[in-house]
Structures are given as C-alpha cells and as structure tokens.
Structure 1
Amino acid sequence: MKTDKKVLWIGLLLLGMLNPGRLWGQVNVSGKSGLLYIPTAEVQKEGTFSFGYTFNPENYAFRFNRKNSESISFVNLALLPRFEINLNLLNPNGPIRFQDKGIGDRQIDLKYVVLLEKEKRPALAIILSAPFGIDNSLITNALVATKHISLTKSIEAAVSVGMGSPYSLYRADVRNDQDSDIFSGYTLKDKRDRPYYYLAGPFGGIKLSYAKKAGLMVEWDSQHLNVGAYTTLFKHWTIQAGLLNGDQFTAGTSYSLNLFQLPKRLRKHE
C-alpha cells in the first residue's frame, strides 16, 4: 500500500476514535445497510461514512462464478438524512486471464428512504444502480421495507422484505478501451441469464441484535438461504461472517464514523 493511502486510513481511524458516538455499522456484501447479501431500509444518520471489505467465496462469485473467489471493497456516505451514495469495487482473487485484468468491476449505487419508520409502519427505501459501468456484477435495483421490533430491553429484531428487479440496463458489449461515451451501448437484459446473479426476485431476512453490539442474521437472497453473525467493536468497527446456502463461508469487515459530528472537545467551544 502506498504511503498516502496509509496516511488516509490512519487519519480516518483516528477521527473515529475522537468521535465516540455509536454508529450502526452492519452492512451487506456491497457496503449498504443490510444483512449478508440483502439490503435493508435502515436509515443512516446524516454524515455517516463507512468503508470496508467483503470476501465472496468461489461458488457464489458474481463475476467469476466457480472460477475465483472475489474481494469487494466499498465506501458508503449518508450525504443527506435519507439519501446514501455507495461505491464498490469487485476484484477476483487468484490468477485470471490477462484480458480480465484491470482496475476491477466498479459500481455506484444510490439509496433513498421514501418512508421513514413509524410505530405501525416500516421504513421503505429504493436502491438504484447507476447504469454507466460496463457489465456490472452487483447491480441493485430494488425496493425494500424494514421494521424494527423490540423483543426485550436489550434484544431487537429487524425484519426486512423486498423485491429486486431481474431486468437491468447493461453495457455488456462495450470494451474498456473503447469506452469514450458513457451514454451509449445500453441493452436491457435479464440478470437471471447469468451463471450467477444478484437480487432478482423476492428477498427477505431477519436480524436479531443484542444492544446493537452483536447479532444473528437469517436471509433469503432470492436464490439461497444464508445465515450469519456479526459483532461491533469499539462502537465503530464491525466484523461479520456467514454461511451461504449451507455451503461456503463469507466474511467481511467495515468501519463507520460521522463526518458531520464534531468531537466532544471541540463542541465545548461552540
């Protein structure tokens, strides 16, 4: 890792330590609020910035299915109270063909919470992937609802149900060395024609959390039943792991901090 990148990561970690307020850091495979694979309609506090990494196993790899496991890096920013921007980068692990090498599969996702959660109403969010990338693998065009239920003073359940569109705009026939016009080459395709696809059809899941410090997850990702667990350390750092379809393990980690909240020592002088 280059020196400037090391300085950036160390700076973000120090900023998080100065800002000790607890943040909801549980995210899915692409860095959005969610379980293992599925997203949720949970609302991040304005200014919440998250970054992290997910390991996706070979049998469930989105782009290199049954050939290579994948590394997915991501950043997520709650730019406005209901609006989030997510950037993720997917790369294969291990040897690949020369023509498949490059920066990686880059994608931008936008999430807007249409309805906030009320006592008798779940939150409702829409998530859309920008179509400008070439043959993206983690396209998320979905509508999802989430309701939190207090079971005890310390235990809370978050139930989420949603629908992912099987149809998306692709630029599958455009080569990277010929990508001079991001507004050309679009084709409407069915994701279910791929060897393995992400979120095409109904999905849902439940997350049981203890004091927002640790929890268990069960989900249906429109293809498989997945189970997992997570824990949050030092109020900002989340570690999670799961078993996909009773077959292979996935794991990930993320770190969250609030860019708009001043440290306590600075707020005293306001």
Structure 2
Amino acid sequence: MWKWVSILFIIGVLLPPKGSSQSLTGVTGLLTIPTAEMPADKQISLGMSYWNKKYIKYRNSQYDLMALYVNLGYLPFLEISLRVSRRLDAEKYIPGKTRGQGIGERMPSIRLRLLSEHRYRPAIVAGAHDFISLGESSRREDTLTDGDVTNFNALYLVGSKHFNLGITSSSELGLHLGYGSDWMDAHFHQFVGMFGGISLTILKPFDLILEYDAEHVNVGMRLLLWRHFQVTSGWQNIDTFVGGFALRMRL
C-alpha cells in the first residue's frame, strides 16, 4: 500500500498544481460545505478525511467515519467525484453471524458550473451528492427503496465571489453562499436550507475558514504543501475535530 502512496506522491510533486481546494466531503469547497469554485480540466484529487460520529446522522451517530475519495475536473465546467465512507470500530464481518460493512457507503457526486466568476458577478454551481443508490443501508429490513440507502444526499445551488484584499500579493477574501433542498428521496440529507462561508488567505498557502453548513457553525484551516499536498483540519460546531488530506495532480 505504502509503495503506491509513495508513487502517487512523487507523481503529484512532478505535475503542475491546481487552484481549487477540496472540502472534507470530497468535492471542491471549504471545510464541509461545497462552493462554486471548480477544479481545472483534467485535474484529479485523491483524499482521505476523518469524521467524528457526534454530528453524523448515518447509523444513528454510532461510528466515527473514515472517508476515501477521488475527484476529477472534466472540462472547465464539470466536476465528478466518488467517496467511500467506512465505519471505524464497526463489527467484523463473520459469514452467517454478523453483517460487517462490506466496501462501505459509496457517495457519487456531480457538479456543473452554470456561470463563471467575473468582476461584478459570482460563479454559480449546481451540485448533487449521493443521488443514486450505491451504498449499504442504515436499515436491516430486506425490502429497501433508493432513499433508504442514500445517506449523504445533497441538492443545491451555490455562488462564490473572491476579492483581492491588497494586504499581500496573495491576500484574498472568498464569500460563498448556497441553498440546498431535500427534494430527492433519501434516508438523510445535507445542506438543506441556506449555507455559506468565508475563506481568508493572507499568505499562501495558508487559508482560514468560517462556515455555516445549514445546521452548525464550523471553523477550520487549510495548508497546501509542496503545491500539491493539502492538509485540512477544523472543528464542527466549534467543539468536534474533523480533518483530512488530499493529493492534487494533473492528468
């Protein structure tokens, strides 16, 4: 395993960097919320994130989660990703005795840029997360609907606008505002109602994050190392740690 991690890291260092940043959910965003920032064409991110069970509705908040994801920018206006979330300390699978957890909870996502950011206009992106049934169910009944096995569903529009602060050559303020719906059938939904956040960069490659995910106020920070390795950490509801890292490359 570490052999392949080393190979991916070396490839990432040799390839040119990308500009957008990954949220812990696996799509482009702040700490947990999506934004209207998008990866460039043929840019890929491989990442891992840790989620504390305290604010996870999935499995009745019984388990912390470790999420693995791959994210791809295809053309300048399309972003697709797949995330697999595995329960930590879940029961071991024993045939005929316990269910275990299989591969884990799979969450596909797709995002489409409707408007690019200009001087007097924000970028606008439409997104859908966990919109088809690929994952394991949080229920034990034999008969399940698609909604029973979609545990991280989100359907939203979000806008982003950036302002040069002029403090340093890289200082920038990002404002992000979105609205999500629970229109799609799902076991659990995310980002329902208004959500938004602020990203502040004084000196690259360090960002500060403040966001509201439609339920909690979260704070975080993000550091980009060697132009390709992103480390993100923060606190949901300002009291519970979450974090992760991502390797960003060009194909």
- Residues 252, 62 of structure 1: alpha-carbon distance in 2 compared, 3 angstrom cutoff: farther
**Offset at residue 163 of structure 1 (A):** 0.8
Residue in 2 that maps onto 1:221: 213
Q: 1:113-146 deviations in whole A, cap 9, x for unaligned? A: 0000000000000012332335122222111000
Q: How does 1:111-190 map to 2 (within 5 A)?
A: 111-129=111-129, 130-134=131-135, 135-152=149-166, 153-170=169-186
Distance 2:124 2:180 in 1: 14
Say what the alpha-carbon RMSD is for the aligned residues.
1.8
User: Residue 232 in 1 paired to residue 224 in 2?
Assistant: yes
**Offset at residue 160 of structure 1 (A):** 0.5
Distance 1:235 1:36 in 2: 19
Distance 2:21 2:29 in 1: 7
Q: Assess if the C-alpha contact under 8 Å between 1:24 and 1:212 holds in 2.
A: no
Distance 1:72 1:137 in 2: 14
Q: Assess if the C-alpha contact under 8 Å between 2:81 and 2:108 holds in 1.
A: yes
Q: 1:51-73 deviations in whole A, cap 9, x for unaligned? A: 10110001012413431111111
Secondary structure of 2:6's counterpart equals helix
Residue in 1 that maps onto 2:139: none
Distance 1:106 1:84 in 2: 17
User: Structure 1 unaligned runs (5+)?
Assistant: 173-190, 192-196, 260-270
Residue in 2 that maps onto 1:204: 196
Distance 2:203 2:40 in 1: 18
Number of residue pairs aligned between Structure 1 and Structure 2? 230
Distance 1:198 1:128 in 2: 11
- Residues 100, 139 of structure 1: alpha-carbon distance in 2 compared, 3 angstrom cutoff: farther
**Offset at residue 25 of structure 1 (A):** 5.2
- Which residue of the other structure, out of 62, 74, 78, is the alignment partner of 1:83? 78
User: Structure 2 unaligned runs (5+)?
Assistant: 93-97, 136-148
Distance 1:7 1:62 in 2: 35
- Residues 90, 81 of structure 1: alpha-carbon distance in 2 compared, 3 angstrom cutoff: same
**Offset at residue 44 of structure 1 (A):** 1.3
Q: Assess if the C-alpha contact under 8 Å between 1:25 and 1:232 holds in 2.
A: no
- Which residue of the other structure, out of 31, 34, 45, is the alignment partner of 2:40? 45
- Which residue of the other structure, out of 47, 56, 59, is the alignment partner of 2:54? 59
Residue in 2 that maps onto 1:258: 250
- Opposite residue 143 of structure 1, the aligned amino acid is L
Distance 1:106 1:62 in 2: 16
Distance 2:164 2:9 in 1: 32
Identity of aligned residues (%): 29
State the TM-score, normalizing by the size of structure 1: 0.80
Q: 1:66-116 deviations in whole A, cap 9, x for unaligned? A: 311111111000011110111001111113483352111102111110000
**Offset at residue 211 of structure 1 (A):** 4.2
- Opposite residue 161 of structure 1, the aligned amino acid is L
State the TM-score, normalizing by the size of structure 2: 0.86
Distance 2:26 2:85 in 1: 12
Distance 1:33 1:208 in 2: 16
- Opposite residue 17 of structure 1, the aligned amino acid is V
Q: Assess if the C-alpha contact under 8 Å between 2:220 and 2:233 holds in 1.
A: yes
